[in-house]
Structure 1
Amino acid sequence: MSVTIKDVSKDASVSIKTVSRVINNEANVAESTKKKVLLSVKKLGFKPNKSAQSLRSKKSYMLALLYDNPNKSYLADVQSGIFNACKSTGYNLVIQECDYKSSELKNDIVQFVDDFRIDGLIITPPLSDMSDFLNHLDLSEIQYSVIAPSTMNTESLYVSSNDYEAAYTLTSEIIKHGHTDIGFIKGHPKHSASNLRFNGYLDAIKNHNIEVNENWIKQGNFSFKSGFDAGVEIFHSAAIPTAIFASNDSMAAGIMKSAQMKGLKIPEDISLAGFDDSPIAHQLWPALTTVKQPVEKMSSHAAKILMAKFDGLAEKNKSKEFKSELIFRESLKNL
C-alpha cells in the first residue's frame, strides 16, 4: 500500500493539518516540528499526490521558463536541467518565449502567471538583467529565480557562473600558445554574460601588455549568423588575427564557416575558441577549444531553489555560483 498523509501524521505524532502545513511550506510551524515531519516523510517515502493537492490548494505545481535567446542549444540545456529537477518532485514545466523589447512584457507575464496559475518563474538572460521587469514581478508577488543575472542580489534567488574568470583564463591560455593578435566576438549586448566575457578577454590582453586591435572586436548576438558575419568582416581586413575568441560556440562555428569560405584553415592559419561547450563544439572539425559551462546543473539548481520557496518537501538549496572548465581541442595551436 502507498504511504498516506495519515501515516506521516501518526509516525511524527502530529496532526494531519500540521503535516499538510509543512508540505505546503506554510508559516507558523515550529522548526522542530517541521524537522520531525520531514524526517517521517523521508523515512516512510511519502510522496504527495500533486493533482489532489492542486485541487485542494491554489497551487498548480507548474513552473514556467521565460526566455528570449537565439541559441537553441543553450535553451535545450536549460530545459533539460529544469526537467531533471521537476522529475523527482512532481512539478511540470511550461516554456514561454518572450520579446524582451516588448512594452507589454511586464503585464503580459503577470497575466500569463494568473491565467495558468503558475507557481513560479525561472528567468534567463536577457530578461534576468531587466530590473524594471523583476521589480514588477516583486510588486505582483510572483515567485521567481534568475539564471546568470548581472547583479547578485542577496535577497533574490539566482544561479550564476564565473564568466569573467573563465574568459580571462582562456584568453591567457591562448596567449600562452604564442598568440598576441587575438580577435573577439561579443555576445548579445543585453546579456550580462556578454560583458563579463568581454571584460575577461580585455583584461587578460591588457595585463599581458598586448595592444588591443579594435578592428578585430565585433558585436554578435550569440547566433551562428552573427558569428559568420563577424568573421566575414574580420577576414576582409588588411591584417587578420592569428586567433579569435568567440563569446559562444555557435558564433565560433559561424566564424569557422567564414574562414573556410575565405580559404583559411583552422588551426593552421587561424586558431579559434568558443564558450559553453555545446554539442556543436565537438561535432565540428577541427573540434573547438572552449569553456565548459554547467548550464544543466545551473538551471536544475535554479528550479530547486525556486521550488523550495513554496514547497515544504523540496530540497533546501541556496543561490550559487558555478565554476566553468577549460576544454582544449584541435582548433587551438601553438605558434
Structure 2
Amino acid sequence: MSNITIKDVAALAGVSVKTVSRVLNKEANVRDVMIERVNKAVKELNFTPNPMARGLRGHKTFIISLLYSNPNPGYIVELQKGAMQQGSIDGYNLQIFPCDHTADDLYETVITFLKNSPQDGIILTHPICDNKAIIKYLEDNQIPFARISPLYSDHNSPYVGSDDEKAAFEMTQYLISLGHTKIGFIKGHPDFAATQKRFDGYKRALTTNAIGFDEELIKQGLFTFESGEACARQLLTQDNKPTAIFASNDYMAAGVLKVAKQHNINVPSELTITGYDDAPVSKQLWPPITTIKQPIYQLGMAAVEKLVHIIKKKSYKDIDSIYDCELIIRDSSSPCIL
C-alpha cells in the first residue's frame, strides 16, 4: 500500500490521530492496550512516520547532535553506532559535529553550529563536556544536553561513562600478578578526563602492592600512534627500562609494539605490552594486544536514552550511569622472566 497516513493508522487501530501521534513519539501516560493497538496497525499498514511532518506538528526536529574532539577513530565510530541505534529506537536521527577542543575559536565554532543546525538536544563527549562556557550557553538557551565521560561530576546534567580508574587498576594488578614491578605507563592526552583516571588506577595498584612509584617510567602521550612511538623510544633506550609497558590506549600501544620490533625486543618474552579500548588495531597486529574493553557502544546508547528523557521531560532513574570495563588478555603479555 502507498500513501499511508497517520489517519489510516488511527482508523485501523480505532483510536484518535492524537493517540497515534503520542504512541509514535513514545510519550508518557499512554495505556498499554492503546500502544499495542497502534503498533499492530502500524505493522499491518507498513506505515513509516515522516520525521519532517512530525517535527512541524510538534515543533521538533527529531535530530540529536553529537559533538566530539577525539584522536581515536575507533572510539568515535563505536560511540556513533550506539547513539544511532538508540536514536533509531526512540525515533531520532543523529548528526555529528567534529571539532577541535584546542582551537582558540572553539566556543564560537560550537555556538555557530548550534544556531545554524536545528536539533532537539546535544550530546557532549569529553573534553568538550567539561567546557564551562559551552555548558552555560546550553543552559541559558534551555538546550537539553547529556555528557559522556566528564572529568567533573558536580553538574546536575545527566552523564554516562566507564570506570577508567578501576579498569586501569585491574590491568596493573594483572601485570603485577605476572611478576612485573617495573611497569612503564604512557599517559593519554592531558585534556581528557580518562587520562587522569587511568593514571590514578595505575598508581593505586602500585601502592596496593607496595611497589614504589618511579617517575622515570611515566611518559606523556597524546592518545595517538605517533605519541606512543615517541614515548616507547624514550622508555626502551633509557637505562631504567621497564619489563612491561601499559599504554593508555591501543593506538599508543601499537606505537610501542613498532618500536620494540625495531629494537629486536621480543614481545612478550622480553617486553609485555598492554593497551586500552579494545580498538580494532589491538586485534590486527601481531602479537594481538592485551587490552581493556570499554562498553563504548553502550555509552552511546545510554547517553541518547538519557537525553531523550530530558527532551520529552520524562524522569530518569539516575543522573549518572557508570559502566565496568573488561580485561581482554591476548598474546602481548606474559610472565616477567627477569
* TM band (smaller chain): 0.7 to 0.9
From 30, 40, 52, the equivalent of 2:34 is 40
Which one-letter code corresponds to 1:240 in the other structure?
Answer: K
| Aligned equivalents of 2:198, 2:77: Cα separation in 1 | 22
- 2:241 aligns to what SS in structure 1? coil
Task: Report what 1:262 is aligned to.
Answer: 263
| Aligned equivalents of 1:7, 1:265: Cα separation in 2 | 66
Give deviations 1:216-245, integer Å, cap 9, x for gaps. 101111111110010011111012100010
1:51-200 to structure 2, matched below 5 A, reads 51-153=52-154, 155-200=156-201
Contact 2:22 2:30 in 1 (8 A): no
| Aligned equivalents of 2:33, 2:151: Cα separation in 1 | 38
- 1:88 aligns to what SS in structure 2? helix
- 2:142 aligns to what SS in structure 1? coil
Query: How many corresponding residue pairs?
Result: 326
Contact 2:65 2:94 in 1 (8 A): yes
Contact 2:63 2:95 in 1 (8 A): yes
TM superposition shift of 1:140: 2.1
Over 3 Å counting, the alpha-carbon distance change for 1:12 and 1:187 in structure 2 is farther
Over 3 Å counting, the alpha-carbon distance change for 1:35 and 1:113 in structure 2 is same
Give deviations 1:285-316, integer Å, cap 9, x for gaps. 1111111111011111111221222248x996
Which one-letter code corresponds to 1:4 in the other structure?
Answer: I
Give deviations 1:9-29, integer Å, cap 9, x for gaps. 99797x655765786688xxx
Contact 1:68 1:97 in 2 (8 A): yes
Over 3 Å counting, the alpha-carbon distance change for 1:321 and 1:6 in structure 2 is farther
| Aligned equivalents of 1:160, 1:142: Cα separation in 2 | 21
TM superposition shift of 1:121: 1.3
TM superposition shift of 1:169: 1.1
Task: Report what 1:4 is aligned to.
Answer: 6
84-93 vs 15-24, which deviates more? 15-24
105-114 vs 199-208, which deviates more? 105-114
144-153 vs 284-293, which deviates more? 144-153
- 1:272 aligns to what SS in structure 2? strand
Which segments of 5 or more consecutive residues in structure 1 lack a partner in the other structure? none
1:224 and 2:225 are equivalent in the alignment: yes
TM superposition shift of 1:136: 2.3
TM superposition shift of 1:317: 6.6
Over 3 Å counting, the alpha-carbon distance change for 1:316 and 1:206 in structure 2 is closer
TM superposition shift of 1:260: 1.1
| Aligned equivalents of 1:117, 1:317: Cα separation in 2 | 28
Contact 2:67 2:96 in 1 (8 A): yes
- 2:245 aligns to what SS in structure 1? strand
Which one-letter code corresponds to 1:95 in the other structure?
Answer: I
Over 3 Å counting, the alpha-carbon distance change for 1:323 and 1:42 in structure 2 is farther
Over 3 Å counting, the alpha-carbon distance change for 1:9 and 1:174 in structure 2 is farther
Give deviations 1:255-278, integer Å, cap 9, x for gaps. 111111112111111101111111
- 1:95 aligns to what SS in structure 2? strand
Give deviations 1:131-174, integer Å, cap 9, x for gaps. 33222221122111111111234731211111101111110110
TM superposition shift of 1:282: 1.4
127-136 vs 232-241, which deviates more? 127-136
Over 3 Å counting, the alpha-carbon distance change for 1:216 and 1:77 in structure 2 is same
Which one-letter code corresponds to 1:247 in the other structure?
Answer: S
TM superposition shift of 1:87: 2.6
Contact 2:216 2:240 in 1 (8 A): no
Over 3 Å counting, the alpha-carbon distance change for 1:18 and 1:199 in structure 2 is same
| Aligned equivalents of 1:158, 1:294: Cα separation in 2 | 14
Which one-letter code corresponds to 1:273 in the other structure?
Answer: T
Which one-letter code corresponds to 1:143 in the other structure?
Answer: P
| Aligned equivalents of 1:191, 1:228: Cα separation in 2 | 20
Task: Report what 1:291 is aligned to.
Answer: 292
| Aligned equivalents of 1:8, 1:188: Cα separation in 2 | 54
| Aligned equivalents of 1:108, 1:211: Cα separation in 2 | 45
| Aligned equivalents of 2:97, 2:10: Cα separation in 1 | 37
Root-mean-square deviation over aligned CA pairs: 2.7
Q: Normalising by structure 1, what TM-score?
A: 0.88
| Aligned equivalents of 1:183, 1:39: Cα separation in 2 | 60
Q: Percent identity?
A: 36
Which one-letter code corresponds to 1:225 in the other structure?
Answer: E
